[in-house]
Amino acid sequence: METDVSCKDPTYALDGLGVSSDDPVLRECDRFRTILDSIDESFVVLDREFRIIYANHSFCSNFAVSSDEVRGTLLFDLKNIQWDEDKLEHLLSRIFSRGSSIDKFRATHITSNSRTELRVRARGLDTGTGYNTHILLTFKELDGPQKEEEIFSMPDDSYFTLVENINDGIVILQNGKLRFANKKFSELTGYSRKELMNTDFSNYVPETYRRMMSKRFKKVLKDMRGPHRNNELELLTSSGALIPTEVSFSYIVHNSRPSIMLNIRDITERKEAELQLEASKEKYSTLVEKSNDGIVIIQDGILNFINSKFTELTGYSKDDLLGSEVLDYVPEEYRRMVSKRFKKVLKDRRSLRRSNEIEFHTKKGDLLPAEIGLSFIHHEDRPSIMMNVRDISERKQAEKELRDSEKKYSTLVEKSNDGIIIVRNGILVFANMKFCEITGFSKDEILRRPFENFLPLEYRQVILRRFRRSLEKNRETPLKYEIELLSKEGVNTPAEINSSIIEHEGEPAIMAILRDITDQKNKEKKLLELIEVQKVMETVIKSSPAVVFFWRPEEDWRVDFVSENISQFGYDADDLISGNILYGDIVHPSDLERFTTEPEVWAKGEENLSFEYRILTKSGEIRWVDERSVVKRDAEGHILYIQGIIVDITERKNVQNFMHLVSDPGTFFSPVGDPGDIFYQLLEFTTGMENLDCGALYLIDESTGDMNIVAHRGFSSRFVKSTRHYAANSVNARVLMTDYPLYTRYYELNSMIPGNNLSYEGLEATAIIPIKHSEETVAVLMLASHSAYEIPFGIRNSLETVTAQIGPVIGRMREQADSVKDLHGLQVIFDSIEDLVFMVDDDGCILYVNPFACDLLGYSVDELKGMNILNLHPQKKLLEAASVLGDVIAGQMPFYDIPFEARDKTIVPVGTKCTRGQLDGMEVVILLSRTSQ
């Protein structure tokens, strides 16, 4: 409750103080009490005994005292202010005795829950006696270390000029004429004080306000008090402009005469804000009225506002709707749901995220299908619900037409002679009866299963990749190609697939039309059997990479004819036809024994044979080929020659191997050949999965626990350099060494490692998958994407299947490495001799090499380990070396003299002794080569 502290009654203010009623300070206080009470600074006036004779409104408010409590109280009896009383009393006494002042005295204002530092200033008041009779004491709150500002400044002649600092214009009128005007009023009107004094106030007010102002003046003088409310009027400035102002009226006595004091506040900014608010209201009112949706405001279930669109939708007028219950216009079956939604909005005091579909009764008795959105607002200072009503009649009609159309075309699709399927996210979501007939499965067995389950392994990745690329490129042109389908009986059915992109249930999908081409394929097969060999050869040579051969049924398969495209393997056709190179020379030694069994098969009467085996190119590269051969016999049944074709299937083998990995990865990842190739193929396979494009494989050092990258794909060289090695106890290693697969965003992983800023790589979705062998983590597979934000659950399952199978492979590799370590005693001997020593497995892979061999050939130990021994022989001797190696491994050749080729291409003549031995239970071949130089 506010307390009047304005010294309205000078006689009351003197009670018990021993101060006469004609005290000039009190007269000034009385004359300007309204002005002084409007000053923000807190101050009091003290008499010579340090009693408070006046306290302004700000002081009483800030220090929680009333005028009755404070008047006549000794300054030092104030209970909520702490200060050095002796020092302050001494300083105040000096003001009376010497005319000094106090500028920077500190005090503390104490309340129940805070302490506020105060700056106290004091100066004497001279009422014309020539010495100070009173003291003006001001208080200023100090906020932290801010620079102290001047609290109160007073001219020497009279302290009532405080009004000069007020931001409002103040004038005193007597008989309508200006007797006083402060600086602010002069600034507002543009006139000087000299020009203003003794002029009619009406000169500064437009004609329209003068009558009102005259009535207010008379009432103030009659009632001897100001009215309770303020008035707005405009001031005329010297430039002729009008300034909007707010005026308050006060009755005062000025120079012993009844007067009127006006407090005039410039409200230009407020008026501009009000105009902007009004314009804003008008704008939004127009938007609401012109909206294409019906908008209503509901309070306590009653319609309080309706826009024109809602009346148009329902057919009711605003008079019909306003004041009625909104649920009266909602069918019975929707009312409970709508009522619950209303209660939730009001309870949560927020809008509902989800829209709802309901119906409204129209005036014509129809039902209007609508979608409603509910929002919480305040309307007329009361909690309300704003309901947005959208007409969805056209959408509902379109949905009905679509259902009718779907029913119509569903009949056509079901009766089609071709299988029709829809695949979304790799899953079959639709299949017609013809597809069921082709595969032999029922619809229940087909739907919601991955489409790849109905494809042979060699087709799965190819077909799914084509589907995925079609969706990514939004390819509208249908794709037609041939595939095979798995049937329930286990027989592959050849089919022609025609796929295209459609939208199914609001999402992109693949629609495929599959035609059973079994009869067509049978006809083609019969037709091919009727074509003469020469024509077949010409067609094959012109249209495919197949190499055509005519072989004699002799040892090592002498070639009578070979097509020119044998050059794709680095050989010249003349070399083979002339007999300089026999076909058996280019067959991989490991496959040669199986290859030589073909005559036994032909002897049994087989006419058409198919074999897959490896050959060595002229450069030493190993390639897989598929041989399809036909035996031509004479009338007595003797073999005349064998005609056939070989096709490079290396790439297909890679695809099949990776396809096989999904069902039985362990049979593919066997520790044969170069481990680096296996690791790279693992990364090539996994980074080709959906939403993945890069990765790295870390192997864990068995002795130190350190982590090292052994293969990587898709990362920048800068990133690989920063992440290729982590010490066992490093934060990076602990983050990567999870006991379970971790799928996250890379920035979250990166933030877990202090000072680790690899954001430049731009990685998003990330997988960290431990690879275990015998419950021990032996490696960590890290995979990531530069664009996708999440790895699908299906892909996660595939990754975990792969890593579960690769663990034992890496474990066996470790065991092989341990086997080599067990030869430490022999290595002491091997390392000291000046002969070349190699230990190789049955595939020619180097398991051990001594330092002398490394120095002589110019390689490091790490470079030679895992390399095939054939790669150390000159290229011209490669075929001979491959043949010899086969005999060595078979134990048929204890010595050979094929030279080695050093890194700098220097030929190193050697004689090599061969023997077989055991390496920790594993059969190996030990090669001891002595230079003949």
454, HSE (Cβ side, Cα atoms, 13 Å): 28
Q: What is the pLDDT of residue 457?
A: 85
pLDDT score at 818: 55
Q: How confident is the model over 10-32, as pLDDT tens digits?
A: 322 333 333 444 566 666 666 55
Burial of 282 (0-12, 13-18, 19+ CB in 10 A): exposed
Helix (H) or strand (E) holding 794: helix 793-821
* 656 contacts 458 by C-beta, under 8 angstroms: yes
Residue type, position 671, single letter: P
- Mean pLDDT check: name the lowest of 498-502, 634-638, 789-793: 634-638
Q: What tokens does 751 get?
A: 């933030």
H or E stretch covering 533: helix 533-543
pLDDT score, position 256: 79
DSSP letter, residue 572: -
pLDDT at 2 over 50: no
Q: Given a cut of 50, is residue 158 above it in pLDDT?
A: no
Question: Average pLDDT of 825-830?
Answer: 60
Q: What is the pLDDT of residue 190?
A: 93
Q: What is the DSSP string of 268-310?
A: HHHHHHHHHHHHHHHHHHHHHHH-SSEEEEEETTEEEEE-HHH
DSSP state of 554: S
Q: Give the number of other Cβ atoms within 10 Å of residue 348's Cβ.
A: 10
Nearest to 748 by CA among 720, 709, 795, 789: 789
- Let me know: does 118 contact 109? Beta carbons within 8 Å: yes
Q: What is the pLDDT of residues 529-583, one digit of tens each?
A: 665 555 555 555 555 578 888 877 776 677 888 888 888 888 988 888 888 888 8
Confidence of residue 821 (pLDDT cuts 50, 70, 90): very low
Per-residue pLDDT reduced to its tens digit, 68-97: 788 888 988 888 888 888 888 888 988 888
Count the Cβ atoms, other than its own, within 10 Å of residue 826. 16
- Using CA of residue 739, residue 745, residue 750, residue 751, what is the dihedral sign? negative
* DSSP summary character for residue 38: T
Q: Report the share of the chain in percent with pLDDT over 70.
A: 83
How many Å apart are CA 324 and CA 342, to the nearest integer? 16
The Cβ of residue 254 has, within 10 Å, a number of other Cβ atoms equal to 16
Question: Which residue pairs, CB below 8 angstroms and at least 24 apart, start in 578-583?
Answer: 581/879, 582/556, 582/557, 582/558, 583/549, 583/551, 583/556, 583/557, 583/558, 583/559
Quickly state the pLDDT bin for 919 (edges 50, 70, 90): low
**Average pLDDT score over residue span 306-317:** 91
The pLDDT of residue 335 is above 90: yes
Confidence tier at 244 by pLDDT (50, 70, 90): very high
Whether 143 has a pLDDT exceeding 50, the answer reads yes
Q: pLDDT digits over 876-886, tens only? A: 888 788 888 88
Tell whether the torsion through CA atoms of 191, 195, 197 and 199 is positive or negative. Answer: negative
SS3 for 460-525 is: HHHHHHHHHHHHHHCCCCCEEEEEEEECCCCCEEEEEEEEEEEEECCEEEEEEEEEECHHHHHHHH
Q: Which residue type, as a one-letter code, is found at position 911? A: G
Q: Over the stretch 474-528, which tens digit does the pLDDT of each residue have?
A: 766 667 778 888 888 878 888 888 888 888 888 888 888 888 888 888 887 776 6
What per-residue confidence (pLDDT) applies to 539?
Answer: 57
How far does Cα 62 stand from its chain's mean position? 52
Residue labelled with tokens 């979250």: 748
pTM of the model: 0.28
Q: Are 234 and 268 in contact (CB under 8 A)?
A: no
Cα–Cα distance for residue pair 7/14, rounded to 1 Å: 10
Task: Give bridge partners of residue 235 from the DSSP assignment.
Answer: 243
pLDDT tens sequence across 443-482: 888 889 998 888 888 888 888 888 888 887 776 666 777 8
Domains and CATH numbers, the chain: 10-164 (3.30.450.20), 166-271 (3.30.450.20), 291-395 (3.30.450.20), 416-520 (3.30.450.20), 531-648 (3.30.450.20), 668-810 (3.30.450.40), 822-931 (3.30.450.20)
Around Cβ 646, how many Cβ atoms within 10 Å?
A: 24
- Retrieve residue 617's tokens: 């190119």
Q: How confident is the model at residue 603 (pLDDT cuts 50, 70, 90)?
A: low
**What amino acid occupies position 351?**
S
* Confidence grade of residue 595 (pLDDT, cut at 50, 70, 90): low
Amino acid at 797: N
Lookup: tokens for 185: 């009023």
> In Å, what is the CA distance from 148 to each residue of 40, 141, 582, 849?
16, 9, 106, 86
For range 353-361, the mean pLDDT: 89
Supply φ then ψ for residue 562, to 5 degrees. -145, 140
Q: Do strands 257-266 and 294-299 pair parallel, antiparallel, or not at all (unpaired)?
A: unpaired
Q: Which residues contact 729 (CB under 8 A, 6 or more apart)?
A: 705
- Is residue 348 scored above 60 in pLDDT? yes
Q: Which two tokens stand for residue 897?
A: 């003299």
**How much of the chain exceeds pLDDT 90, in percent?**
22
Question: How many residues in total does the chain contain?
Answer: 933
Query: By the 8 A CB rule, do 352 and 337 touch?
Result: no
Q: Which two tokens stand for residue 86?
A: 């002796």
What type of residue is 857?
A: L
556-575 burial code (b ≥16 CB/10 A, e <16): bbebeebbeebeebebebee
Instruction: State whether residue 848 is helix, strand or coil.
Output: strand
pLDDT, tens digit, 9 for 90 and up, residues 161-198 = 556 767 889 999 999 999 999 988 999 999 998 899 99
pLDDT category, 779, cuts 50, 70, 90? Answer: very high
812 DSSP 8-state letter? H
* pLDDT reading at 199 higher than 90: yes
Residue 324 has pLDDT above 90, yes or no: yes
Q: What is the pLDDT of residue 809?
A: 78
- Distance CA(519)–CA(529), nearest Å, equals 16
- Asked if residues 483 and 476 have their Cβ atoms less than 8 Å apart, the reply is no
Question: 243 to each of 166, 205, 367, 413, how far by Cα in Å?
Answer: 18, 10, 58, 81
Mean pLDDT calculated for residue range 769-782: 90
Residue 732 CA from chain centroid, whole number: 23
- What is the Cα 890 distance to its own chain's centre? 60
Range with the largest mean pLDDT of 416-425, 475-484, 635-644, 652-661: 416-425
Distances in Å between the alpha carbon of 759 and those of 93, 501, 720, 756, 786? 73, 36, 13, 9, 11
| Mean pLDDT score of the chain | 81
Q: 893-932 burial, b for 16+ CB within 10 Å, e for fewer?
A: eeebebbbbeeeeeebebebebeeeebeeeebbbbbbeee
pLDDT at 242: 93
CA angle (570 as vertex; 568, 575 as ends), nearest 5: 115
- State how far the Cα of 687 lies from the Cα of 678, in Å rounded to an integer: 14
Angle value at C-alpha 601, between 596 and 603, nearest 5 degrees: 110
- The shares of helix, strand and coil residues in the chain, as percent rounded to the nearest 5, are 40, 30, 30
Q: How far apart are CA 248 and CA 2, in angstroms?
A: 19
What number is the average pLDDT over the span 344-360? 89
CB distance 925 to 914 below 8 Å: yes
Phi/psi for 782 (5° steps) reads -110, 125
Tens of pLDDT, residues 409-447: 677 777 778 888 888 888 988 888 888 888 889 888 888
State the pLDDT at residue 476. Answer: 65
Sign of CA dihedral 616, 618, 621, 625: negative
CB count, 10 Å around CB of 299? 15
For residues 749 and 738, give the distance between their C-alpha atoms in angstroms, rounded to a whole number: 12
The answer to whether residues 435 and 415 touch, using CB atoms and an 8 Å cutoff, is: no
Q: 142 and 151 in contact (C-beta within 8 Å)?
A: no
Phi and psi angles of residue 932, each rounded to the nearest 5 degrees, phi first: -100, 10
Going by the DSSP 8-state scheme, the letter that residue 328 receives in this structure is G
> Looking at residue 587, what DSSP letter applies?
B
Helix axis angle, 793-821 to 650-663, nearest 10°: 100
